[in-house]
Structure 1
């Protein structure tokens, strides 16, 4: 009866079915404990209870069912220790107990299961050492103990398992050296050991382990000369040796790993040049060799890697030009070559990498002009060319000092840049106020000397005439009466886009904002916040902006200066369609303010609080708004370096446009999670959205935003803040009132119940929201995981069964 919606507990009466050979109740909503009466099922061969919500201990009486061949209880809430009695099941071939809350040691008695093929105990809370008795499992093919609390060394007896193909020990606290004969049997296909404390040289047996398909040893202290310890692996698809102590040079043999898709050896001490032979591994999708001592030219053979999605070679010593062959990488999404010694121009062929999202060429000695072909990169989100002889922008253009010359590429991020962001270059031209236009003389210098003679003969007289004319105009302006016309607003000479000249004439922009808001009159106020008020500013040319004016204190605005700086710093380092755009800012003794794009829909809080607007905010629009917020947070947490935590995600800080698309705003409390620095801070955020751990710790992590996102997602589905419902859902008892509350009873009553394609998405959003507000930060999803699940089509439901409760969605 697997794959249904059966709930409740497994009845004790199941023990009366003495002839049963197989029980399959997997993939339901069963809760309660496994009944002890199963000990009577003496003919039982297969027990499948996985993917339910079963709790309590694994009954030791199961050890009496000597006919059992397969036990699969994974993905439940089972607790306590693994019974020693399971060692009596001499016919057992499969034991799968992963993704529970099991604790204690791994029973040595499991070494008696000589017919066992698969032993999976991963994602529990098992502690102690790996018992050497597991080396007696001569038939074992797969051993998975990853994501536990295991300590000690790997027993050498593990090498005696002749047929072992897959060994997963990652994310534990294991130490010592890897067993010397780990691949003596030549049958090992997957060795996954990352995030432990292993040290010492790589085992010599791995050099000839031609059966290897996956080798993941990242985040340890393992060492060895790369040019000596690895061989040729015809079946290898994924290797990750990152964050270890490997040295030596990369062998040409890697090019013979024709099935290789992921090649990661970043953050080691690898030297020498990149072997051109690597270009023969044409299935490569990811190369990550950053933070080493690599030198020599980047091979032009990399142009053959047409499946490459990610090329990261930053922080090495690569000299010479960026190879134009990179333009052949039509699937490339991320290119990072920063922190090298690259010189010469940026190849125009990069503009052919149509899928490029992130391009970092910063901290090199690149020269010349930015090729206009970069304007063809329509999906580009981040471009960093800083600390070259050029300039850079990350989301928004920022001012840096370079020697850029020639025309700006025809891309909006450049053409809309303020002059201050582009000044201090050599001969930059383009359609930006303050820059010279790009005329033919800039593009064609073939007749330079002749042109210069013509300029001397023609331009100098013209300049003299203009100079005399300017003097005359200046005298006229000085002596004419100083009057100001306010009768004809439409006669303003404002340019089409005021912010094209903001940094060019800050006083002019400041005065126009003051005039548009009537010196920040309350009639123009559209919102209040903890650190400022938001005003609607409509300029005479029709442009409308949202202006956040910071609250003044007795000593000026210094009390809010930190938030002011935070917001500017955050919004100039990120660029995302679901994050509010900062147009400009002003720091003035009387008024300090920030200018954003204006959203006519107002805040999410405002929309949900008004019945008429809430009824227009239909289920599909609500689901898409939740996805917008999730995408923005995922971008901030996983695509920004360093990651950015907002710390005040709430319905008042999410703005909606006329199509109900959501945008995150108010970054005054945002924090950049810089590595190797303190991420502890005083409380920031909004009560009711802040995670519970901030009551006893002030450590800022991405999981703070995840919790707030969960609250907002529930608020969108319910039409109001969930209030006390959140704390009551944390009660694990299945009898608690909130856990027994039906989902359909908490959805916003102002909308009809969702149907058809909306339904599965609504249930999925509610389920993910409940996962995000888990009181234990470690058990919350990451925003990347949320996005992955939201990208699915939703749960396959035709209607909301009356039996779906919040407790079931919450997994309690």
Structure 2
């Protein structure tokens, strides 16, 4: 028969390939892929001597590649990927010198890559990945170099997800036009050969999850065309500073390795790094300084970044713009030595769901530094300097609840109520003698002295009135309601608008607006 092309892909054909098909000796293209054909390929396939392109991928074909395939000497493309082929890759493959594309991925092939692969001098892509191939990668793979009659040679070698062991063969240096080399997820060992630096056309290099020994080779810096580099779960020593020469690099994976020392400053010269920030960044438990500004990163900030902030020894201030454009959902930085004011940007971070800043040394004005958080579920600011006003005459603030409809503060409970309540009741006034009144004045004075002279920076209450003085069951006075309070900068003037209760505000407010500890200390009768 004269039939030369038979595209059958993307149907629901089932069962074995019919025997009559093997009589189509003029067939050049056979595409029965993406069907439900099954059963092993029969020996008769060797009768299709005119075949140029054979694609049998994404089926359920079982069994080995038969030796009769050696008769398909005109074959340039063979796709057997995503099947259930098993057994070794036959030595007879050496007869198929016209091969350009060979794809054997996602099968159950086992054994070594045959040394006869060196005869496939026209090969451009080699994909035996995701199989059970083993043994060392043969030196003959480096003989897939440029043939005198060709303008190019092998571009892609994908050996990932197999069981290859031993070293990377030094002969790989001959593949000078190689753009993609995937060796990850094998059992390769020994140091990386220096010859890898001769692969100047490499764009993608994946070496992760092997057993490579020693440091990252300096020769990596010679691969100036690299865009993606994955060295994860390998190597020891430090990150070479010469990595800065990989000026086209957009993706660099180094996670779960045995690398030590500091991250070289030169890594900041890799200005093309982009994509999303990986979750694995949260595994850098000893990271002190992470700067990702002026980059091309996209996507969301990974939730694992919280691991870099909590239970460390971080010091100094939180950056004022830490809320990252108001998109934070979980903000956790507890158990450090952070100091300074609560960042102003938290006020506009309405997306906050959980906030944990306890056990630091932060301070601030809760009524001014925090905003309305409709989604807030949990907040803990305990054991900070804003709560370290643990003077006996200042009411203890336990927390607050903020919601668009309802907001309230949670204080310790004082049984006696406010001084205003006592003075407005004839019965309670009669029991509130001069000695108790003098003690209340003393208690308020002690509280103000603590706020003005023992706190740093000083705290000005701004509204000392009888409604904001609470008494316990023993008539011990406590100052409450810090809604008008402010922190004083001792090195500059502090201007505020009027705040307080009429008749109780200091007379200074009538002539000026700058707050001081003297202004706040005047308690009117």
User: What interval of TM-score do these two structures reach, taking the shorter chain for normalisation?
Assistant: 0.5 to 0.7
1:310 is aligned to 301
1:365 is aligned to 360
Relative to 1, partners in 2 of residues 1:449 and 1:310: Cα closer, same or farther, differing over 3 Å? closer
2:11 is aligned to 4
Does 1:237 pair with 2:228? no
Relative to 1, partners in 2 of residues 1:448 and 1:73: Cα closer, same or farther, differing over 3 Å? same
Does 1:322 pair with 2:318? yes
Question: Equivalent of 2:284, from 287, 291, 296?
Answer: 291
2 CA distance for matches of 1:291 and 1:218?
13
TM-score, length-scaled by structure 1: 0.44
Relative to 1, partners in 2 of residues 1:350 and 1:258: Cα closer, same or farther, differing over 3 Å? farther
1:117-155 residue CA offsets vs partner (Å, 9 max, x unmatched): 111111111121111111111121111111112221211
2 CA distance for matches of 1:89 and 1:356?
63
Does 1:200 pair with 2:214? yes
1:48 is aligned to 55
Task: Decide whether the 8 Å contact of 1:104 with 1:126 is kept in 2.
Answer: yes
1:251 is aligned to 264
Mapping 1:150-549, distance limit 5 Å: 150-220=164-234, 222-226=235-239, 228-261=241-274, 288=281, 290-291=283-284, 293-295=286-288, 299=291, 302=293, 307=298, 309-310=300-301, 312=305, 314=308, 317-329=313-325, 341-344=337-340, 346-347=342-343, 349-350=345-346, 365=360, 367-368=362-363, 372-373=370-371, 375-376=373-374, 389=384, 405-410=398-403, 429-430=409-410, 448=461, 451=464, 455=468, 459-460=470-471
Farther-moved stretch of structure 1 (302-311 vs 29-38): 302-311
1:149 is aligned to 163
1 CA distance for matches of 2:69 and 2:90?
9
Secondary structure of the structure 1 residue equivalent to 2:194: coil
Task: Decide whether the 8 Å contact of 2:360 with 2:384 is kept in 1.
Answer: yes
Secondary structure of the structure 2 residue equivalent to 1:127: strand
Give, in angstroms, the shift of residue 302 of structure 1.
3.5
Secondary structure of the structure 2 residue equivalent to 1:13: helix
Task: Decide whether the 8 Å contact of 2:241 with 2:265 is kept in 1.
Answer: no
2:478 is aligned to none
Task: Decide whether the 8 Å contact of 1:87 with 1:111 is kept in 2.
Answer: yes
Give, in angstroms, the shift of residue 215 of structure 1.
0.8
1:303-345 residue CA offsets vs partner (Å, 9 max, x unmatched): 8777352353617654222323232356677877677654445
2 CA distance for matches of 1:374 and 1:108?
70
The gaps in structure 1 that reach 5 residues or longer are 263-282, 391-402, 416-427, 435-443, 465-812
Relative to 1, partners in 2 of residues 1:348 and 1:9: Cα closer, same or farther, differing over 3 Å? farther
Task: Decide whether the 8 Å contact of 1:344 with 1:365 is kept in 2.
Answer: no
Secondary structure of the structure 2 residue equivalent to 1:258: coil
Give, in angstroms, the shift of residue 185 of structure 1.
3.0
1:82 is aligned to 89
Mapping 1:546-565, distance limit 5 Å: none
- How many residue pairs are counted as aligned between the two chains? 402
Task: Decide whether the 8 Å contact of 2:271 with 2:295 is kept in 1.
Answer: no
TM-score, length-scaled by structure 2: 0.66
1 CA distance for matches of 2:172 and 2:205?
13
Secondary structure of the structure 1 residue equivalent to 2:133: strand
Relative to 1, partners in 2 of residues 1:59 and 1:314: Cα closer, same or farther, differing over 3 Å? same
2 CA distance for matches of 1:432 and 1:159?
74
1:97 is aligned to 104
1:28 is aligned to 35
Give, in angstroms, the shift of residue 35 of structure 1.
2.5
Give, in angstroms, the shift of residue 41 of structure 1.
1.1
1 CA distance for matches of 2:10 and 2:468?
83
2 CA distance for matches of 1:168 and 1:155?
14
Give, in angstroms, the shift of residue 235 of structure 1.
2.2
2 CA distance for matches of 1:43 and 1:158?
33
1:525-565 residue CA offsets vs partner (Å, 9 max, x unmatched): xxxxxxxxxxxxxxxxxxxxxxxxxxxxxxxxxxxxxxxxx
- Flag the structure with higher helix content: 1
Question: Equivalent of 1:112, from 109, 112, 119?
Answer: 119
RMSD value, Cα: 4.0
Task: Decide whether the 8 Å contact of 1:327 with 1:351 is kept in 2.
Answer: no
Task: Decide whether the 8 Å contact of 2:206 with 2:231 is kept in 1.
Answer: yes
1:124 is aligned to 131
Task: Decide whether the 8 Å contact of 2:398 with 2:411 is kept in 1.
Answer: no
Give, in angstroms, the shift of residue 254 of structure 1.
3.2
Relative to 1, partners in 2 of residues 1:330 and 1:124: Cα closer, same or farther, differing over 3 Å? farther
Structure having the higher Rg: 2
